[in-house]
Amino acid sequence: MLHQILSITFKDLKVLSKDHGGMITLFLMPAMFILVMTNALSGSFSGPSDNPAPLLVVNNDTGELAAEAIADLQTVDGLAIEQTWEGQPLTRELAEGLIGDGDRRVAIIFPADFSDRILARAADSDSPAATVTFLADPAAGAQFLGPVQGAVQGYILRVASYAQAPTQIGAAFDNMAAEAEPQFAPVVKQIGQAFVERLNNGGGLAGSVTDSPVVFEIAAPADFQIEKFPDSAQQNVPGYTLFGVFFIAQVLGISILREKQEGTFRRLLIAPVSRAALLIGKLLPYYLVNLIQVALMFAAGVIVFNMSLGNDPLALVVITLAASAASTGLGLLIAAVGRTPEQIGGLSAMLVITLAAVGGVMVPSYVMPPFMQTASKISPHAWALAGYQDVIVRGLGASAILPEAGALLIFAAAFFGVAVWKFKFE
């Protein structure tokens, strides 16, 4: 029995070893996945100073307190403070443009009356609080915005508290003196003056402050037509829908290979059908399946999660048509290159998973190192995901997604072109 087992094992090892392409993809797929994901997540497991989050800062404050808060923020390892862009001081309009173009994800805006309102509120608790605005890309998830907001709010509130403390504590001692016995009032006032002088000289903060002197609001750039910031469904449904859409490449590749092996292609070539018509007829069903798949996934998002689909259905249709063309083109390319089911299965899984990882489907591209963010442009997933986010998350229309749709059609044309060149009908 042992001899029989070893004979069968040896036979199957010989069969596997003869399929060089299948063996290569079998080992190459996990290696590629490890390489891509390790680089993409490199900043998540290192210190914050190794991959600091860029933070645009617009300082309109006519006083000094915003500058003090900014100086404190510049000491935070996890933040890279930027107050200028290409030599120009940042304005709100410039910051909105940088976020809208995808160059940056978040900015903070200090209003002109930031210092005045904080100091005024120290003397009068009914005085309006200062408002600091977080200007954020709606597509930036909470895992990115949360730590940034927490650090910024903490440092700004500390500066505001120190600025208010002398006035508040001085007023408290004045009230104590007014209520004290006449012989004790001068002593109380003298103690209060000494305590305030110590605070002004940096001697430390004691006591408590009143209600927060600063309120924080979060807003999107004016060009983004959104009523509220997106939820997890708007962030995740498009990404994982794309992951499934591109897996049609494996099904398509194996289907074409099976028809070659069964002789169906040879019989079709005898019929009065052009080769172009044959390929188009073969691809069209899978293209339609892709469109149905997207429609069903988005319908599930709307029904189950009450997901918003943005303001322009036409834009969704355009980006879906282009993404489906790229995925079926990739499937035809895999069918043209693969020679065995093992090769097609391994190659399609390797390409689809790697391109999805590089393209930001598994890990948002904005948390990747800069070189990985640049490399994401080679993935059709990145362009398709950006197009869906423009429509669903940022509230933009068809004109905004034309660059992404154009890039996807270029991918589709390249995949089709190489596939037709390499495709063997016999």
Nearest to 116 by CA among 174, 58, 155, 167: 167
Using alpha carbons only, what angle is made at residue 47 by residues 45 and 52, rounded to the nearest 5 degrees? 105
Between the CA of residue 227 and those of 109, 143, 301, what are the distances in Å? 20, 21, 18
Query: How many helices (DSSP H) and strands (DSSP E) are in the chain?
Result: 16, 7
Write down the pLDDT at residue 187: 46
Selected from 3.90.700, 3.40.1710, 3.40.50, 2.60.98, the CATH number assigned to the domain covering 52-219 reads: 3.40.1710
Write down the pLDDT at residue 101: 85
In our burial notation (b when 16+ CB lie closer than 10 A, e otherwise), range 385-419 reads bbbbbbbbbbbbebebbeebbebbbebbeebbeeb
- Report domain extents, the chain: 21-43+230-422, 52-219
- Phi, psi values for residue 69, rounded to 5°: -65, -40
Residues of the chain with pLDDT under 70: 1-51, 142-143, 164-211, 227-228, 230-231, 265, 268-269, 271-273, 275, 425-426
Query: What is the H or E stretch that residue 148 is in?
Result: helix 142-179
SS3 241: helix
Q: Is the pTM of this model over 0.85?
A: no
Chain centroid to CA 24: how far?
A: 33
Long-range CB contacts (within 8 A, 24+) of 302-309 = 305/231, 305/232, 305/233, 305/237, 306/233, 307/231, 307/233, 307/234, 307/237, 307/392, 308/230, 308/234, 308/392, 309/391, 309/392
Write down the pLDDT at residue 235: 72
Distance CA 295, CA 312 (A): 15
Do 32 and 375 contact (CB within 8 A), yes or no? Answer: no
The two tokens of residue 402 are 């034309």
Q: Using one digit for the tens of pLDDT, what is the confidence trace for 143-192?
A: 677 778 888 888 888 888 777 665 555 555 455 555 555 654 454 455 54
Distance CA 301, CA 293 (A): 12
For the sheet containing 106-110, what is the strand order?
Answer: 79-82, 53-59, 106-110, 130-136, 214-219
Write down the pLDDT at residue 384: 94
